[in-house]
A and B are shown apart, each in its own frame.
Chain A
Amino acid sequence: MTILALDLGFIIEKLIMIAIVVFASLGIALYTTFGERKVAAILQDRPGPSRAGPFGLLQPLADGLKLIMKEEIIPNAASKWLFILGPGLAMTASLMTCAVIPWGSAMDIFGRHVALQIADVNIGILYVFAVVSMGVYGIMIGGWASNNKFSLMSALRAASQAISYELAMGLALIALLMTTGSLSLKTIVEQQVQGNWWNVVYQPLGFLIFFITAMAECNRTPFDLPEAENELNFGYHQEYSSMKLGFYLFAEYINMIMSSAIMASMYFGGYDLPFFNEASVAPNIAALIGVGTLLIKIVLFIFLFMWIRWTIPRFRYDQLMGLGWKTLIPLALFNMLLTGAVILAKL
């Protein structure tokens, strides 16, 4: 049966995949909050949450329950619809990124050849950029609608920070795209699977710039100026309570997972397990191993994010802008020129 020349099985397959990816991201984000607290504790010689369940493993569920049970407060002076729209937008934008990430090669299920990617868009990276910049709207709208000067300040900071760092991020990516010749994440990963080296070998400077800007995009310390508690009380989500606050906090962790996934896909071979011949096992098992490999890479990146957060203090705002405009952008331009020169020389 076909609808609009579309295979119904194809639609069901994609819907199932979307459900799996979204719920898996939410689940991982839930446990990333737990991981964050545990990592912070261990780096500071503390045991961390250990009361709820064995090793405190039920802690995120308890946190979630607490957030849901809290009273929903919408301030009188707030712009009501925008106030509600803000967290929804932040969450949607961060979840939308996962559509183009290739989670694995392909599996044969019930006679169907299923690619483990929701959509192999040929402008994958551009799509990611578009969606990530949408995330700023969630913060901007939430901060503005709260009608609180601290929230507004924080939202302004978040927006200008995101814009400044997206430039350097884009420039770092252009250098990568010059070597790969494709915007599709799937193609980029496949090139790394087939080729000898991961892209990070060809683009070490590009990766460094991308990593720093990704950290800034996720509002992670040392770039968490929008949430600078000592200047802005709590940041753009100051007036929020209950699950709306939960959405903002969650969106931050999902952003972190997604940028880790993108970094792993673009620079660290995605689902490519090094020194392992995928052809030596059944294709389905190879695909599952690929998914596991990508997840491990994501977890390592998340750990790196947390490790940096609990080591380095926050930037001052002018230092942050200075780093973005005066250091990262020229460096990214230099990296682009260098890459172009090498490609030309090789021709």
Chain B
Amino acid sequence: MQALTNKAQAVNRKPMTFLERLYLINIIKGMMITFSHMFKKQPTIRYPEEKREFSPVFRGLHVLNRDEEGRERCTACGLCAVACPAEAITMEAAERVEGEEGLYREEKYAAKYEINMLRCIFCGLCEDACPKDAIYLSETFAPANFTRKGFIYGKPDLLIPNPLTEASAFAEAKGVEA
């Protein structure tokens, strides 16, 4: 049969020599290889103590943003829910009443804002869709929970701490994603 390429190699069917049949030399060679691995650098990352560095564009759990005066930015326009390919976001809008100006930036706000983290695919389209810079993805990644309900994150889980009253928690939550 004509070969298609010139890469074919004949199989070596030479009988083993006496030294090869003793195996001992090859066993010692193998043992040297395993021994050399004792001095190799371990690639292990000891997880809770050490963490792998994320890329600056890492997309983790969502955060609902506040402005510099600590007011919620979200106006419950629903663009994020429309953009979401996994249909993970639901919200209910409410009108801001007299005296709530310090809480919400605009006249309309999200009374209920839920993201189902089991549905979410962390694509970041909600972040792109938001006209108010109200939602972005942080560097925290998917947590554990005991129930499926626990994965539906409401406003208390998502809102970033108030920069005026809890400055350090705000800075921590903000992370590198300024």
Contact = CB atoms under 8 A, between A and B. Distances in A.
A45 B37 contact: yes
Given A47-B46, A50-B46, A311 B34 contact: yes
A50 B35 CA distance: 21
Q: Please tell me the size bucket of the interface on A.
A: 10 to 19
A43 B39 CA distance: 9
Contact of B37 (A43, A47, A308, A312): A43
What secondary structure prevails in chain A residues at the interface with B? loop
A307 B46 CA distance: 25
B150 interface: no
Interface in A279-310: 307-308, 310
A42 interface: yes
Q: Please tell me the size bucket of the interface on B.
A: 10 to 19
Interface in B72-128: none
B31 interface: yes
A140 B44 CA distance: 41
Interface in B21-51: 27, 30-31, 33-35, 37-38, 40-44, 46
A312 B27 contact: yes
A311 B33 CA distance: 8
B46 A310 contact: no
A50 B47 CA distance: 12
Contacts of B40: 45
B34 A307 contact: yes
Contacts of A46: 42, 44
A64 B107 CA distance: 64
Given A312-B27, A312-B30, A307 B35 contact: yes
B31 A44 contact: no
Contacts of A42: 37-38
Contacts of B38: 42-43
Given A43-B37, A44-B37, A45-B37, A311 B30 contact: yes
Interface of B: 27, 30-31, 33-35, 37-38, 40-44, 46
B42 to A, nearest CB: 5
Contacts of A50: 46
12 contacts: A42-B37, A43-B35, A43-B37, A43-B38, A45-B37, A45-B40, A45-B42, A45-B43, A46-B42, A47-B44, A311-B34, A312-B27
Contacts of B37: 42-45
Contacts of B41: 45
Interface in A27-75: 42-47, 50
Interface in A196-211: none
Given A45-B37, A46-B44, A312-B30, 20 more contacts: A42-B38, A43-B34, A43-B35, A43-B37, A43-B38, A44-B37, A45-B40, A45-B41, A46-B42, A47-B42, A47-B46, A50-B46, A307-B31, A307-B34, A307-B35, A308-B27, A308-B31, A311-B27, A311-B31, A312-B27
B51 to A, nearest CB: 16
| 5 shortest interchain CB distances as A-B pairs | A311-B34, A43-B34, A311-B30, A311-B31, A47-B44
Contacts of A308: 27, 31
A42 B35 CA distance: 9
A308 B33 CA distance: 11
Contacts of B46: 47, 50
Contacts of A307: 31, 34-35
